[in-house]
Amino acid sequence: MIKRISLFFIFWCSGILLFGQETFHLNGLSNKKSIPYLLKGAYVHINAHEVLDNADVLFQNGKIVAVGSGLSAPNGAVEIDLAGKHIYPAFVDAFSDYGMPNVEPAKGVNWYNNKFASAKSGPFNNNEAIKSENSAAEQFKMDKKKAEKMRDLGFATAWVHVPDGISRGTGAVVSFAEAQENESVLKADVGRFFAFDRGSSTMSFPISIMGMVSLLRQTYLDADWYAKGGWQKERNLSLEAFNASKKLKPVFAAKNVDDILRADFVGDEFNEQYLIKGNGDEYQKLDLIKKTGASLIVPIDFPEAEKFIDPLEAQEMELMALRHWNLAPSNPKMLYEAKIPFAISAGDSKGFFDNLRKAIGRGLPEEAALAALTSVPAEMMGLSAQLGKIEKGFEANILVTDKPVFDEKSQRLSLWISGKEYKLNIPDRILDERFVLKIGSEIPEYRLEVKQENGKNKFSVFKSDSVKVKSKIGFEDESISIEIDLDSLGEGLMQGFLWPDGHFAGKAILGNGETVAWSAKPASELSESINEDKKGKKKEEGLIAKMQFPFAPYGFDEQPQAANYLIRNATVWTNEKAGILDEADVLVKNGKIASVGKNLSTKEQVKEIDGRGMHLTSGIIDEHSHIALYSINELETVSAQVRQRDALRSNDINIYRQLAGGVTAAQLLHGSADCIGGQSALIKMKWGEAADGLLIERAPRFIKFALGENVKRGNAFSGTNRYPVTRMGVEQVYMDAFSRAKDYQRQWKAYNALGNKKGVLPPRKDLKMEALVDILNDDLHITCHSYVQSEINMLMHVADTMDFKINTFTHILEGYKVADKMKERGIYGSTFSDWWAYKFEVREAIPYNNAIMNKVGVKTAINSDDAEMARRLNQEAAKTMLYGGLSEEEAWKTVTLYPATMLHLDERMGSIKVGKDADLVLWNANPLSIYARPEFTMIEGVIYFDEKEYEKKTEEIALEKNQLIQAMKNAKGGKSGSMEKKAGSDRVHCDSVLELGGISLDEL
């Protein structure tokens, strides 16, 4: 063994490290802010768009004094030569929880021990999720490890807040410097923060997105009332803080792209323009986001590739998850091209620069990336005159790099925060993968390869025939040492350096004692034979995923458009007096039915469809559905203030599936966990539209009531403190609720009757009571979940007593027992065709229920309450012919005209009549047949489902998915379990509670 000889000699001379590398820590003077510093001869990036060549930066007392060429150093100044280096404004993180207390999110909801009152001591808001009194400045604590981590990335400052609750209080701008808290908080009360997130609250409300929206809306109303004089009646520090911060910029933390639109909707209601922190999926709805006028803060942490174990595991991946993995790195570029202002946040900082370079590789201009990390966040914080630029008067927050900061080989050399310099904990430089290794002039070439493992460079040496050579390699601080087996020459010992141009060079001592020069240059610059090995190497994944409307399987490449149609020679089920017409025509113009008859003609240009041998009907309407929602239930006994429209999920594949079953419209109901649930959303199945585009314009308003087991929870009786737990208690809930509503109504009538309201405090506006008063005024219609005769009678009695109307009893499997009473009151029914014995309270259900009720004179529909059943409601309707002997036309009306009538939409849909919406389905057979399937489903003149297109789309999806899986397999890195697999059952029912999972109460 030859004794190792070190060639790495370090000499200090006026602060300069030999071998071309400078040091910026000069005799400890860098910690003294009063000393002037002159950084000389660098490329100075004044901002994202201006660069000065061979320029100087002078700063003192933490502020930049001058920027330009040939600056003279004042007396006592420390001069640092940065010739060839780059100076940038230090980065600013616009969304961070740095230095904030750790927040433990509430772990679910315990149904058996519900908590409806706040545990916070003091005169604060009665709901724990409202924490407007929080102050980031007051709660800030130094976090040395995280500060060092962020400095290493080039960040000097951050906009922080406590990420807890729905109204989160005020933020602060803090420094990542090593200092005391009072020095690190640069500015307090910068912005006020919001989110649809209950955070650490242990209360049972809210648990759903719709509940969170309602609580935020109520808080705005409460704060307004409090400011008008409510403070004289009660003290509420949360509302005082909310009002005190009203002039600050509102910032909303969104969990997904739908959250952005949902937040903007609330903001519009209360005249707020939120600055919105997104989640990296904004590219999915860019046009809608642009219309909000919001500026964004976006993360740069992209999904990791999944490491697949086998082909079956790969096929379990959701297409949307695969698409997002592929498209997420393009999100910043797409925002830039859409001219939507945005800042970039470091997120958890994992893979920050790798992801940033990936985004730049996808087309984000480097200038835009730099602006998003410097001047844009500074402007968002209202500190554009202090941060984000290298200009006179600005904070001396400076990042020094050896190459352009986004270059893959760039090293971050130094970071100055308020004039104080920090030595950066820089990871190993990312090296080229292959080098051609030459030792002397007589020894054959070797191949030096470098791989990245956990952020470190791992070296290996190979012969030209790819045989691995025994070697031991060390690399640190640009210095490399190699022990290598040189066959007949014995063991060689090599020492050298990595030079600025990216090659290694040094001296080697061979086994025979000879000393020779050696070098290792990137293979890309040298031998063609080496490059040939790289030609077959896969490039980084490109854009493969489709951008479709919606961002889901079976979406459209472009939004489908309405057209005029003439459907000829079909069997037309009019649902009107004309009955079923043979070989008739239907003309569709401007989204409406323009004419119905035989041998129709028109001078206008139309698309003709031959319906010969087929059946044309109006679209199926599902009176009771829970699809296309992020959440189904709240857990308050009375949740009248929540709205299903606030929980719409427009990319739910069930919309498309139900179009394939001929469904064109549905009532999306709150679940049945509460006696009085939330307000319904009436939608049309406009696949590809955003959430608001699904809503039926000018639709009547509905609300969900419930009776029976689901509200009293008899099977959860032991230990529960949630009222009610008996059917008697259910009745009392209704009596109490409407007694309070009547009192609330009287208060407002008395207030509004005052001629001069000056100096008079109005009643507190209560969204829950507002909804109940709307019921009393017949502006909000009731659909009630029901089974048992006694309870149905009970609610009718309550309605008579409290003077409100019941619109529909849904489910109502014992409706055949009370049909006469329902008819007297003008109440509709909506039921299942033949469900029975699935729980004890339906033990007396019979399949003849629908037919009996209709024959008594109660218009009764067939509903689904199930995403799967909704796809075959035509067959469910046919069962009424078997069980009860309804005619074909009567049976068909149970899923078309009757639900339209009970939803007060029969003037617009439910039959084929001139002037009604062109919501039409062309069936290949009698629609009541088990063999019937739609050829197309049309809504307002737009074909949203086409059988032929379905087959084509299925093939395209399979191809796209395979391409994405292959791209993911070829991607570098990745880990198992990094991405979501196919979700479990998406079949949600009345008693489904939590977001998206269909988790029933019994599972909580």
Comparing 4-8, 654-658, 775-779, which segment has the lowest mean pLDDT? 4-8
Q: What is the pLDDT of residue 20?
A: 31
Nearest residue to 905 (alpha-carbon basis) of 705, 679, 647, 701: 701
Comparing 162-166, 390-394, 902-906, 966-970, which segment has the lowest mean pLDDT? 966-970
| Residue 793 main-chain phi, psi, to 5 deg | -60, -40
Q: What is the pLDDT of residue 974?
A: 67
Nearest residue to 193 (alpha-carbon basis) of 167, 216, 226, 219: 167
Q: What is the pLDDT of residue 432?
A: 58
In the chain, what's the furthest Cα-to-Cα distance?
Answer: 112
- Residue with tokens 């030209």, as numbered in its chain: 464
Comparing 18-22, 135-139, 256-260, which segment has the lowest mean pLDDT? 18-22
Q: What is the pLDDT of residue 350?
A: 79
For the segment 712-718, the average pLDDT, to the nearest whole number, is 60
Q: What is the pLDDT of residue 403?
A: 92
- CA separation for the pair 993, 202 (Å, rounded): 16
Q: What is the 3-state secondary structure (H, E, C) of 10-68?
A: CCEECCEECCCEECCCCCCHHHCCCCCEEEEEEEEECCCCCEEEEEEEEEECCEEEEEE
Residue type, 43: Y
Q: Are 991 and 710 in contact (CB under 8 A)?
A: yes
Nearest residue to 891 (alpha-carbon basis) of 938, 855, 846: 855
When comparing pLDDT for 970 and 300, which is higher?
A: 300
Residue type, 505: A
Comparing 527-531, 772-776, 896-900, which segment has the lowest mean pLDDT? 527-531
Q: What is the pLDDT of residue 1002?
A: 31
For the segment 424-443, the average pLDDT, to the nearest whole number, is 74
Q: pLDDT tens across 42-59, in order?
A: 999 999 999 999 999 999
Q: What is the pLDDT of residue 677?
A: 96
Comparing 327-331, 762-766, 962-966, which segment has the lowest mean pLDDT? 962-966
Local confidence band at 991 (pLDDT 50, 70, 90 cut-offs): low
Comparing 432-441, 562-571, 863-872, which segment has the lowest mean pLDDT? 432-441
When comparing pLDDT for 456 and 77, which is higher?
A: 77
- CA separation for the pair 393, 397 (Å, rounded): 11
Q: What is the pLDDT of residue 529?
A: 38
Q: What is the pLDDT of residue 31?
A: 45
Structure tokens at 397: 């927050």
Answer yes or no: is pLDDT of 12 > 60.
no
E strand residue ranges, 787-916? 808-811, 828-831, 860-862
| pTM of model > 0.75 | yes
Please state, rounded to an integer, the average pLDDT across all residues of the chain.
88
Q: Residue 573 in 3-state DSSP? A: strand
Q: pLDDT tens across 590-625, in order?
A: 999 999 999 998 888 999 999 999 999 999 999 999
Q: What is the pLDDT of residue 382?
A: 95
Residue type, 587: L
- CA separation for the pair 574, 377 (Å, rounded): 60
Which residues make beta-bridge pairs with 783? 704, 808
Comparing 195-199, 396-400, 752-756, 852-856, which segment has the lowest mean pLDDT? 752-756
DSSP string computed for 956-982 = HHHHHHHHHHHHHHHSS--BTT-S-B-
State the DSSP H helix or E strand holding residue 854, giving kind and residue range, or none if neither.
helix 849-856
Local confidence band at 718 (pLDDT 50, 70, 90 cut-offs): very low
Q: What is the pLDDT of residue 10?
A: 29
Comparing 101-115, 223-237, 273-287, 707-721, which segment has the lowest mean pLDDT? 101-115
Structure tokens at 497: 């350096």
- Residue with tokens 């998406």, as numbered in its chain: 986
Distance linking the first and last C-alpha atoms of the chain: 68
Q: What is the pLDDT of residue 862?
A: 98
Percent of the chain with pLDDT over 90: 70
Q: pLDDT tens across 916-965, in order?
A: 999 999 999 999 999 999 999 999 999 999 999 999 999 999 999 989 98
Answer yes or no: is pLDDT of 542 > 90.
no
Q: Residue 676 in 3-state DSSP? A: strand
When comparing pLDDT for 314 and 896, which is higher?
A: 896
For the segment 528-534, the average pLDDT, to the nearest whole number, is 36
Pairing between strand 565-573 and 607-610?
parallel
Answer yes or no: is pLDDT of 757 > 80.
yes
For the segment 454-461, the average pLDDT, to the nearest whole number, is 77
Q: What is the pLDDT of residue 343?
A: 98
- Residue with tokens 């044309």, as numbered in its chain: 616
Q: Residue 643 in 3-state DSSP? A: strand
Local confidence band at 973 (pLDDT 50, 70, 90 cut-offs): low
Nearest residue to 694 (alpha-carbon basis) of 666, 713, 721, 722: 666
Comparing 310-324, 777-791, 829-843, 981-995, which segment has the lowest mean pLDDT? 981-995
Q: What is the pLDDT of residue 430?
A: 57
Local confidence band at 723 (pLDDT 50, 70, 90 cut-offs): confident
Answer yes or no: is pLDDT of 30 > 60.
no
Q: What is the pLDDT of residue 3?
A: 32
For the segment 131-147, the average pLDDT, to the nearest whole number, is 95
SS3 content of the chain, % helix, strand, coil (to 5): 30, 25, 45
591: Cβ–Cβ under 8 A, 6 or more apart, which residues?
562, 917, 918, 940, 941, 942
For the segment 456-466, the average pLDDT, to the nearest whole number, is 81
Q: What is the pLDDT of residue 680?
A: 98
Nearest residue to 608 (alpha-carbon basis) of 596, 619, 600: 600
Q: What is the pLDDT of residue 618?
A: 98
When comparing pLDDT for 121 and 444, which is higher?
A: 444
Q: What is the pLDDT of residue 227?
A: 95
State the DSSP H helix or E strand holding residue 746, giving kind and residue range, or none if neither.
helix 727-753
Local confidence band at 759 (pLDDT 50, 70, 90 cut-offs): confident
Q: What is the pLDDT of residue 460?
A: 87
Which one-letter DSSP state was computed for residue 540?
Answer: P
Local confidence band at 539 (pLDDT 50, 70, 90 cut-offs): very low
Which residues make beta-bridge pairs with 401? 86, 412
